[in-house]
Structure 1
Amino acid sequence: MPPTTIALIAIAVVILLIGIAIGYFGNDRAAVWRRRFEDERDNYADYRARSEARHARMVAALMAGPMPLPSTQAPPPSPAAPLPISGTRPAPEITHIVGIDAALADRLAALGVTTIRDIATLTIEDELALELRLGLNAGTIARDQWRSQAQLLDSGPAALVG
Protein backbone atom coordinates (compact mmCIF):
# COMPACT_ATOMS: atom_id res chain seq x y z
CA MET A 1 0.00 0.00 0.00
CA PRO A 2 1.22 3.44 -0.74
CA PRO A 3 2.00 5.65 2.27
CA THR A 4 -0.73 8.13 1.36
CA THR A 5 -3.42 5.43 1.66
CA ILE A 6 -2.16 4.41 5.08
CA ALA A 7 -2.13 8.04 6.18
CA LEU A 8 -5.71 8.52 4.97
CA ILE A 9 -6.86 5.38 6.83
CA ALA A 10 -5.09 6.55 10.00
CA ILE A 11 -6.75 9.97 9.74
CA ALA A 12 -10.16 8.33 9.22
CA VAL A 13 -9.66 6.11 12.28
CA VAL A 14 -8.61 9.10 14.43
CA ILE A 15 -11.64 11.10 13.26
CA LEU A 16 -13.90 8.12 14.00
CA LEU A 17 -12.50 7.74 17.51
CA ILE A 18 -12.86 11.48 18.17
CA GLY A 19 -16.50 11.30 16.99
CA ILE A 20 -17.23 8.35 19.29
CA ALA A 21 -15.64 10.17 22.25
CA ILE A 22 -17.63 13.36 21.57
CA GLY A 23 -20.84 11.36 21.22
CA TYR A 24 -20.22 9.42 24.42
CA PHE A 25 -19.29 12.38 26.59
CA GLY A 26 -21.86 14.67 25.03
CA ASN A 27 -24.72 12.26 25.73
CA ASP A 28 -26.31 12.90 29.13
CA ARG A 29 -28.56 9.82 28.97
CA ALA A 30 -25.72 7.68 30.22
CA ALA A 31 -25.44 9.89 33.29
CA VAL A 32 -29.18 9.66 33.92
CA TRP A 33 -29.17 5.87 33.74
CA ARG A 34 -26.07 5.73 35.90
CA ARG A 35 -27.77 7.86 38.59
CA ARG A 36 -30.89 5.66 38.45
CA PHE A 37 -28.76 2.55 38.81
CA GLU A 38 -26.87 3.99 41.77
CA ASP A 39 -30.11 5.11 43.47
CA GLU A 40 -31.66 1.67 43.01
CA ARG A 41 -28.50 -0.03 44.29
CA ASP A 42 -28.48 2.21 47.39
CA ASN A 43 -32.20 1.62 48.04
CA TYR A 44 -31.69 -2.13 47.83
CA ALA A 45 -28.70 -1.97 50.20
CA ASP A 46 -30.82 -0.01 52.73
CA TYR A 47 -33.69 -2.48 52.39
CA ARG A 48 -31.38 -5.43 52.88
CA ALA A 49 -29.78 -3.87 55.97
CA ARG A 50 -33.22 -3.18 57.50
CA SER A 51 -34.39 -6.72 56.70
CA GLU A 52 -31.30 -8.30 58.22
CA ALA A 53 -31.67 -6.16 61.36
CA ARG A 54 -35.36 -7.12 61.70
CA HIS A 55 -34.46 -10.79 61.22
CA ALA A 56 -31.74 -10.54 63.88
CA ARG A 57 -34.24 -8.96 66.31
CA MET A 58 -36.77 -11.74 65.67
CA VAL A 59 -34.17 -14.46 66.19
CA ALA A 60 -33.01 -12.79 69.41
CA ALA A 61 -36.61 -12.58 70.65
CA LEU A 62 -37.21 -16.25 69.87
CA MET A 63 -34.01 -17.27 71.62
CA ALA A 64 -35.00 -15.26 74.71
CA GLY A 65 -38.03 -17.50 75.28
CA PRO A 66 -41.77 -16.95 75.21
CA MET A 67 -42.98 -13.42 75.67
CA PRO A 68 -45.33 -12.80 78.62
CA LEU A 69 -48.80 -11.60 77.78
CA PRO A 70 -49.67 -8.11 79.00
CA SER A 71 -51.83 -8.11 82.13
CA THR A 72 -54.32 -5.68 80.60
CA GLN A 73 -55.48 -8.28 78.13
CA ALA A 74 -59.13 -9.23 78.53
CA PRO A 75 -59.93 -12.85 79.37
CA PRO A 76 -61.09 -14.99 76.46
CA PRO A 77 -64.85 -14.94 75.91
CA SER A 78 -66.85 -17.82 77.31
CA PRO A 79 -68.11 -20.31 74.76
CA ALA A 80 -71.54 -19.59 73.40
CA ALA A 81 -74.43 -21.71 74.57
CA PRO A 82 -75.47 -24.30 72.01
CA LEU A 83 -78.51 -23.50 69.98
CA PRO A 84 -81.59 -25.60 70.65
CA ILE A 85 -82.07 -28.26 68.01
CA SER A 86 -85.55 -28.94 66.80
CA GLY A 87 -86.76 -32.45 66.03
CA THR A 88 -86.63 -32.06 62.26
CA ARG A 89 -83.82 -30.80 60.18
CA PRO A 90 -84.43 -29.05 56.89
CA ALA A 91 -83.56 -31.00 53.79
CA PRO A 92 -80.30 -29.79 52.27
CA GLU A 93 -80.64 -27.80 49.12
CA ILE A 94 -78.93 -28.74 45.89
CA THR A 95 -76.82 -25.56 46.14
CA HIS A 96 -75.07 -27.00 49.22
CA ILE A 97 -73.00 -29.09 46.80
CA VAL A 98 -69.72 -27.39 45.98
CA GLY A 99 -69.77 -26.45 42.32
CA ILE A 100 -73.52 -25.85 42.04
CA ASP A 101 -74.61 -22.24 42.31
CA ALA A 102 -78.14 -20.84 42.06
CA ALA A 103 -77.99 -20.40 38.28
CA LEU A 104 -76.79 -23.96 37.75
CA ALA A 105 -79.44 -25.22 40.19
CA ASP A 106 -82.11 -23.53 38.04
CA ARG A 107 -80.72 -25.18 34.91
CA LEU A 108 -80.67 -28.56 36.70
CA ALA A 109 -84.28 -28.06 37.83
CA ALA A 110 -85.28 -27.43 34.22
CA LEU A 111 -83.82 -30.88 33.42
CA GLY A 112 -85.69 -32.52 36.32
CA VAL A 113 -82.81 -32.71 38.85
CA THR A 114 -84.19 -30.94 41.90
CA THR A 115 -83.09 -32.84 45.02
CA ILE A 116 -79.90 -34.07 46.61
CA ARG A 117 -81.10 -37.64 46.15
CA ASP A 118 -81.41 -37.06 42.37
CA ILE A 119 -77.69 -36.26 42.23
CA ALA A 120 -76.71 -39.01 44.69
CA THR A 121 -78.30 -41.67 42.47
CA LEU A 122 -76.76 -40.51 39.16
CA THR A 123 -74.94 -43.09 37.09
CA ILE A 124 -71.81 -42.32 35.09
CA GLU A 125 -73.87 -42.25 31.90
CA ASP A 126 -76.32 -39.82 33.55
CA GLU A 127 -73.38 -37.60 34.55
CA LEU A 128 -72.09 -37.48 30.97
CA ALA A 129 -75.55 -36.72 29.57
CA LEU A 130 -76.08 -34.03 32.20
CA GLU A 131 -72.74 -32.42 31.38
CA LEU A 132 -73.64 -32.32 27.70
CA ARG A 133 -77.08 -30.81 28.35
CA LEU A 134 -75.71 -28.22 30.78
CA GLY A 135 -72.78 -27.34 28.51
CA LEU A 136 -70.20 -28.23 31.17
CA ASN A 137 -66.74 -29.52 30.38
CA ALA A 138 -66.49 -33.29 30.26
CA GLY A 139 -65.66 -34.70 33.69
CA THR A 140 -66.82 -31.66 35.69
CA ILE A 141 -69.32 -33.61 37.78
CA ALA A 142 -66.78 -36.33 38.59
CA ARG A 143 -64.00 -33.83 39.29
CA ASP A 144 -66.18 -31.80 41.68
CA GLN A 145 -67.50 -35.07 43.21
CA TRP A 146 -71.15 -34.10 43.08
CA ARG A 147 -72.35 -37.65 43.75
CA SER A 148 -70.20 -38.23 46.83
CA GLN A 149 -71.15 -34.80 48.22
CA ALA A 150 -74.81 -35.53 47.60
CA GLN A 151 -74.55 -38.95 49.26
CA LEU A 152 -72.96 -37.36 52.35
CA LEU A 153 -75.62 -34.66 52.48
CA ASP A 154 -78.40 -37.20 51.94
CA SER A 155 -77.16 -39.51 54.72
CA GLY A 156 -77.44 -36.77 57.32
CA PRO A 157 -75.17 -35.43 60.06
CA ALA A 158 -74.43 -38.86 61.58
CA ALA A 159 -72.32 -39.79 58.54
CA LEU A 160 -70.29 -36.61 58.88
CA VAL A 161 -69.46 -37.13 62.57
CA GLY A 162 -68.50 -40.79 62.54
Structure 2
Amino acid sequence: MFGLDAVKNMFSSVGSYKNFIIIFILTIIFIVAAIYTYRRYVSPKMNPKFVANSEFLPEEANNKPSEVAELYFFYTEWCPHCKKSMPIWQSLKSDLDNKEFKGVVLNFIEVDCDKDTALAEKFNVQGYPTIKLVKGNQVIEYDAKPSKDTLMEFLQTSL
Protein backbone atom coordinates (compact mmCIF):
# COMPACT_ATOMS: atom_id res chain seq x y z
CA MET A 1 0.00 0.00 0.00
CA PHE A 2 2.71 2.50 0.98
CA GLY A 3 5.50 0.81 -0.87
CA LEU A 4 7.42 1.74 -3.96
CA ASP A 5 4.33 1.49 -6.14
CA ALA A 6 2.58 4.14 -4.06
CA VAL A 7 5.51 6.53 -4.46
CA LYS A 8 5.62 5.89 -8.23
CA ASN A 9 1.90 6.47 -8.53
CA MET A 10 2.24 9.72 -6.61
CA PHE A 11 4.92 11.04 -8.93
CA SER A 12 3.38 9.64 -12.09
CA SER A 13 0.16 11.40 -11.27
CA VAL A 14 2.08 14.67 -11.32
CA GLY A 15 3.37 13.82 -14.72
CA SER A 16 7.10 13.68 -14.24
CA TYR A 17 9.89 13.89 -11.70
CA LYS A 18 10.23 17.69 -12.03
CA ASN A 19 8.62 18.40 -8.67
CA PHE A 20 10.80 15.78 -6.95
CA ILE A 21 13.97 17.31 -8.39
CA ILE A 22 12.92 20.83 -7.41
CA ILE A 23 12.10 19.74 -3.85
CA PHE A 24 15.39 17.83 -3.62
CA ILE A 25 17.42 20.86 -4.81
CA LEU A 26 15.61 23.21 -2.39
CA THR A 27 16.27 20.77 0.47
CA ILE A 28 19.99 20.70 -0.37
CA ILE A 29 20.08 24.53 -0.52
CA PHE A 30 18.42 24.80 2.91
CA ILE A 31 20.83 22.26 4.41
CA VAL A 32 23.86 24.13 3.03
CA ALA A 33 22.45 27.44 4.35
CA ALA A 34 21.89 25.89 7.79
CA ILE A 35 25.45 24.53 7.94
CA TYR A 36 26.88 27.90 6.87
CA THR A 37 24.80 29.76 9.47
CA TYR A 38 25.84 27.35 12.23
CA ARG A 39 29.55 27.60 11.43
CA ARG A 40 29.49 31.36 10.92
CA TYR A 41 27.34 32.52 13.87
CA VAL A 42 26.62 29.75 16.37
CA SER A 43 29.86 27.77 16.58
CA PRO A 44 32.14 30.74 17.47
CA LYS A 45 29.90 31.65 20.42
CA MET A 46 30.17 28.13 21.78
CA ASN A 47 33.99 28.49 21.88
CA PRO A 48 35.17 28.98 25.52
CA LYS A 49 37.65 31.63 24.34
CA PHE A 50 34.82 33.70 22.83
CA VAL A 51 34.16 37.01 24.58
CA ALA A 52 31.31 39.11 23.28
CA ASN A 53 32.46 42.59 22.23
CA SER A 54 36.11 41.70 22.80
CA GLU A 55 37.07 44.20 20.11
CA PHE A 56 36.25 46.93 22.62
CA LEU A 57 38.55 45.60 25.35
CA PRO A 58 42.13 46.83 25.55
CA GLU A 59 44.73 44.28 24.50
CA GLU A 60 46.02 43.87 28.07
CA ALA A 61 42.52 42.96 29.27
CA ASN A 62 42.38 40.16 26.72
CA ASN A 63 45.71 38.74 27.90
CA LYS A 64 45.43 38.84 31.68
CA PRO A 65 43.66 40.84 34.34
CA SER A 66 45.92 43.28 36.17
CA GLU A 67 45.83 43.98 39.86
CA VAL A 68 45.07 47.51 40.96
CA ALA A 69 46.66 49.38 43.86
CA GLU A 70 45.92 52.87 45.17
CA LEU A 71 48.58 55.17 46.52
CA TYR A 72 47.00 57.81 48.79
CA PHE A 73 48.61 61.16 49.58
CA PHE A 74 46.96 62.73 52.64
CA TYR A 75 47.77 66.43 52.99
CA THR A 76 46.49 69.82 54.12
CA GLU A 77 46.86 73.21 52.45
CA TRP A 78 48.42 74.87 55.52
CA CYS A 79 51.12 72.23 56.22
CA PRO A 80 54.66 73.33 55.16
CA HIS A 81 55.84 69.69 54.87
CA CYS A 82 52.93 68.96 52.51
CA LYS A 83 53.86 71.97 50.38
CA LYS A 84 57.43 70.64 50.09
CA SER A 85 56.27 67.10 49.30
CA MET A 86 53.62 68.02 46.72
CA PRO A 87 56.06 68.58 43.77
CA ILE A 88 57.71 65.21 44.49
CA TRP A 89 54.27 63.56 44.60
CA GLN A 90 53.21 65.27 41.35
CA SER A 91 56.39 64.14 39.61
CA LEU A 92 55.89 60.53 40.66
CA LYS A 93 52.22 60.75 39.76
CA SER A 94 52.98 61.99 36.24
CA ASP A 95 55.38 59.06 35.76
CA LEU A 96 53.25 56.21 37.16
CA ASP A 97 49.56 57.18 37.46
CA ASN A 98 47.27 54.61 35.76
CA LYS A 99 50.30 52.71 34.49
CA GLU A 100 51.44 49.20 35.21
CA PHE A 101 54.31 48.86 37.68
CA LYS A 102 55.53 45.35 38.53
CA GLY A 103 52.28 43.86 37.19
CA VAL A 104 50.06 46.22 39.20
CA VAL A 105 48.19 49.26 37.88
CA LEU A 106 48.80 52.21 40.20
CA ASN A 107 46.18 54.88 40.91
CA PHE A 108 47.38 58.01 42.67
CA ILE A 109 44.80 59.64 44.94
CA GLU A 110 45.25 62.97 46.71
CA VAL A 111 43.15 63.62 49.81
CA ASP A 112 42.86 67.08 51.37
CA CYS A 113 42.20 66.09 54.97
CA ASP A 114 40.56 69.44 55.82
CA LYS A 115 37.91 68.79 53.16
CA ASP A 116 37.62 64.99 53.40
CA THR A 117 37.85 64.24 57.10
CA ALA A 118 35.91 60.97 56.81
CA LEU A 119 38.53 59.39 54.55
CA ALA A 120 41.34 60.69 56.77
CA GLU A 121 39.65 59.10 59.80
CA LYS A 122 39.06 55.86 57.92
CA PHE A 123 42.80 55.56 57.24
CA ASN A 124 43.71 56.80 60.74
CA VAL A 125 45.82 59.72 59.50
CA GLN A 126 47.70 61.26 62.45
CA GLY A 127 50.15 63.64 60.72
CA TYR A 128 50.82 65.32 57.40
CA PRO A 129 51.80 64.37 54.80
CA THR A 130 50.84 60.71 55.07
CA ILE A 131 51.26 58.27 52.20
CA LYS A 132 49.52 54.89 52.22
CA LEU A 133 49.45 52.11 49.66
CA VAL A 134 46.28 50.00 49.41
CA LYS A 135 46.63 46.70 47.55
CA GLY A 136 43.73 44.30 47.92
CA ASN A 137 42.81 44.26 51.61
CA GLN A 138 46.31 45.29 52.71
CA VAL A 139 47.18 48.87 53.75
CA ILE A 140 50.91 49.69 53.84
CA GLU A 141 52.08 52.99 55.33
CA TYR A 142 55.06 54.88 53.94
CA ASP A 143 57.17 56.03 56.88
CA ALA A 144 60.07 58.04 55.45
CA LYS A 145 60.66 61.59 54.28
CA PRO A 146 59.07 61.82 50.82
CA SER A 147 61.56 61.81 47.96
CA LYS A 148 61.22 60.29 44.53
CA ASP A 149 63.92 57.69 45.22
CA THR A 150 62.47 56.54 48.55
CA LEU A 151 58.94 56.43 47.11
CA MET A 152 60.17 54.29 44.20
CA GLU A 153 61.97 51.99 46.66
CA PHE A 154 58.77 51.79 48.74
CA LEU A 155 56.78 50.78 45.66
CA GLN A 156 59.45 48.24 44.60
CA THR A 157 59.38 46.50 47.96
CA SER A 158 55.63 46.78 48.61
CA LEU A 159 54.34 45.54 45.26
TM class by shorter chain equals: under 0.3
Q: Which has the higher contact order (CA 8 A, sep 6+)?
A: 2
TM-score (norm 2): 0.26
Q: Quick check: which has more Rg, 1 or 2?
A: 1
Q: Larger helix proportion, structure 1 or 2? A: 1
| TM superposition score normalised by structure 1 | 0.25
